[in-house]
Amino acid sequence: MVAAPGFDEMWGSDERLREPYQTFNDWLDGEDPKRLRAKQREAEEVFRLTGITFNVYGRAEAEERLIPFDIIPRIISDREWSRVTKGIEQRVRAINAFLHDIYHRQEIIKAGRIPREMISDNAAFEPRMIGVSPPGGVYTHIVGTDLVRTGPDEFFVLEDNARTPSGVSYMLENRETMLQMFPELFSKNRVKGVQSYPTDLRRSLAACAPAATTDTPVVAVLTPGIYNSAYYEHAFLADQMGVELVEGHDLRVVDGRVAMRTTCGYKPIDVLYRRVDDDFLDPLNFNPESQLGVPGILDVYRAGGITIANAPGTGIADDKAIYSYMPEIVEFYTGERPLLQNVPTWRCSEPDQLAYVLDNLHELVVKEVHGSGGYGMLIGPAASKKELAAFRRKLTARPGNYIAQPTLSLSTVPIFAQRGLAPRHVDLRPFVLVSPDQIKVTAGGLTRVALKKGSLVVNSSQGGGTKDTWVLED
């Protein structure tokens, strides 16, 4: 395989096989390519039979697709992972402290580290959370921190997913599929497990139960329903945790508690892992047109009668304009320099930074501050003159809606392509569980891969696929 320009995680920058891949490569050299192609087809069939799909919206009609899975694992050494883990833990602690502060004393604003309007004028800031302290002081119970890599020891945080991060079911199914198809690989390589995630998730959620809990905490997963793009994951996690999967119409407020309908009447819930956005969570307090939420749940929450994971109002930590202040946020709340760096970011809301972005649009990546899934973004080097002109008009009309970043030389990992191994760009979403006394980073996470040659867009909605991510034992 010829390494792509930049850092290749298997072959390094100088086309020398890197140590984490040594044992895997010895195995690979002895494999028949025909057998591997058969295994690749088998993996696709496993995903099809299991029903691992996602929905694509924003087209003429929604369509259901399989997420492509590549059988070549991404392999990370224990030393590399230890550094990443420490950086994520530091960042998640800072995010929780930031959320508590902006909904209480707002010391970071008083200190002049973040402009007041960046909070008060932010659509993701939730005034109803002012003065509310969630059980155990935890706002972000589940976090997905997106990382990109540009060198052997260079990891950058691309974005923070602190609202309702998705994709963990694909991480688990990827590992299960690899264990099923290549058991010999796991006897040759000491790979850290991820299979305990559902058990860890339930324990972590239970540890965040409110003071009103009198017995073993009752946990449930709230889904918008079968038409949601991540419904497979909602059902999967509820099943794996051994808890109920509920929709809004299954719940009601009874005697000051949120209760779910059962064959024996209504049963109070202590912790609700919600996969419903804030706006649809409670029609009495948010969008009155919502049919997905529970009338009055926010009032029960504010009274301490239920834990909602993640807490309402955490979406402001996902905001890409707030992201640009994360180095200051980490230093302000931890007293430490960030262990994981941000990608350099221009805030288009600031006239001088907007001028720079407009002058260099063809070289930059531009994103909506509330965007996700790879939608609403421009990759300048790959854009046509027409696309650049259209985005220039958007930026001029609503500059505060966008941030811009340089086009990084993302690391590559080989995929099993038609003609053998070929490098493709990847990112990584490690999953973090937060409880009052612990931050637990799952060993590995979800590697998303841009299957098109040269593409930097890894999102499944934009044609990306996934890989199993191995963190090796020392």
Taken as a whole, the chain contains a residue count of 474
Query: How many C-beta neighbours within 10 Å does residue 194 have?
Result: 23
Q: 59 falls in which pLDDT band (50, 70, 90)?
A: very low
Backbone angles phi and psi of 15, in degrees to 5 = 60, 30
| Cβ-proximal residues to 280 (8 Å cutoff; 6+ apart), any chain | 224, 286, 287, 290, 292, 293
Answer whether residue 58 shows pLDDT above 60: no
Residue 116 is classified by DSSP as H
- 251-254 β-sheet, strand order: 251-254, 257-262, 265-268
Continuous segment of H or E residues that includes residue 356: helix 351-359
- Residue 432: its H or E element: strand 431-435
Separation of CA 299 from chain center:
28
- What was the pLDDT predicted at 154? 94
The answer to whether 103 and 129 are in contact (CB under 8 A) is yes
118 near 302, Cβ under 8 Å?
Answer: no
Q: Among the listed ranges 193-202, 427-436, 455-464, which one has the minimum average pLDDT value?
A: 455-464
Residue 44 has a pLDDT of 87
Is the confidence at residue 64, as pLDDT, over 70? no
Can you give the pLDDT at residue 386? 93
383-408 pLDDT per residue, tens: 899 999 999 999 999 998 999 999 88
Cα 399 to Cα 83, 121, 392, distances in angstroms? 36, 14, 10
Sign of CA dihedral 127, 133, 137, 138: negative
Q: Indicate if the pLDDT at residue 464 is higher than 90.
A: no
Confidence grade of residue 420 (pLDDT, cut at 50, 70, 90): confident
Spatial contact of 124 and 371, defined as CB atoms under 8 Å apart: no
CA separation for the pair 297, 300 (Å, rounded): 5
Q: Which of these, 268, 299, 274, 296, lies nearest to 283 by C-alpha position?
A: 296
pLDDT surpasses 50 at 352: yes
Peptide bond into 310 cis (omega under 30): yes
pLDDT for res 15:
83
Helix locations, 51-77, DSSP H:
none
- Position 179 scores a pLDDT of 96
Is 50 exceeded by the pLDDT of residue 472? yes
Nearest to 469 by CA among 9, 2, 8, 37: 9
Tokens of 299: 């009032």
Mean pLDDT of the chain: 91
For the chain, give the percent of residues with pLDDT over 70.
94
Q: What is the pLDDT of residues 247-290, one digit of tens each?
A: 999 999 999 999 999 999 999 999 999 999 999 999 999 999 99
Residue 210 has pLDDT above 70, yes or no: yes
CATH number given to 346-406: 3.30.1490.270
**Tell me, what's the pLDDT at 2?**
35
Six token digits for residue 463: 């044609």
pTM of the model: 0.92
For the record, the structure tokens of 8 come out as 């290749």
Q: Give per-residue pLDDT as tens, 302-347.
A: 999 999 999 999 999 988 889 999 999 999 999 999 999 999 999 9
